[in-house]
Structure 1
Amino acid sequence: MNHLFITPNDIAILTGKSVKTSRRYLSLIKDALGKEDHQGITIFEYASYEGVDYQEVIKFLGTKGEI
């Protein structure tokens, strides 16, 4: 994994939800964090919002969800 910002595809991998649902969820997170539409959400911000360790998120995404 080599990107700073979380994408709807990443959220879909993490949650098992569809990309469309993940896109809506990312929008909700942006609203909660006071971000504008053009601003991204970092993996650290996503992990903090979810209450999980960001290193676990990075590790899980690095394996593309395969355990």
Structure 2
Amino acid sequence: MSRLKRICIYPKDVQRITGRSERYGRKLLQQIRRHFEKDQHQFVTIKEFSEYTGINEAEIEQYILD
């Protein structure tokens, strides 16, 4: 049975991917929410993060999977 993949991205993930601070990750995710006209409580998906940053989804998944 294959393991389910996570679809949401969190500030700690952004920190791992970019090498920047977790605070930068929170700010970037907020910018992405505004870009996609999401509410504060809504999650940012890997697909949205990929589209916004131009980083390939497969590369992102390598950083967020255990």
**What interval of TM-score do these two structures reach, taking the shorter chain for normalisation?**
0.7 to 0.9
- 1:41 and 2:34 aligned: no
- 1:58 and 2:53 aligned: no
Q: Taking every aligned residue pair, what percent have the same amino acid on both sides?
A: 29
Contact 2:8 2:44 in 1 (8 A): yes
Q: What TM-score does the superposition give when structure 2 sets the normalisation length? A: 0.82
- How many aligned residue pairs are there? 63
Counterpart AA for 2:44: I
The CA deviation string for residues 10-61 of structure 1, in whole angstroms up to 9 with x for no partner, is 0011111110111111101110111111110101110111112101111233
| Displacement over 6 Å in runs of 4+ | none
Residue 15 (structure 1) aligns with? 18
Q: Which structure shows the bigger proportion of residues in strand conformation? A: 2
Q: What TM-score does the superposition give when structure 1 sets the normalisation length? A: 0.81
Comparing 36-45 and 51-60, the one that deviates more: 51-60
List runs of 5+ in structure 1 lacking aligned partners: none
Give the root-mean-square deviation of aligned CA atoms.
1.7
- 1:28 and 2:31 aligned: yes
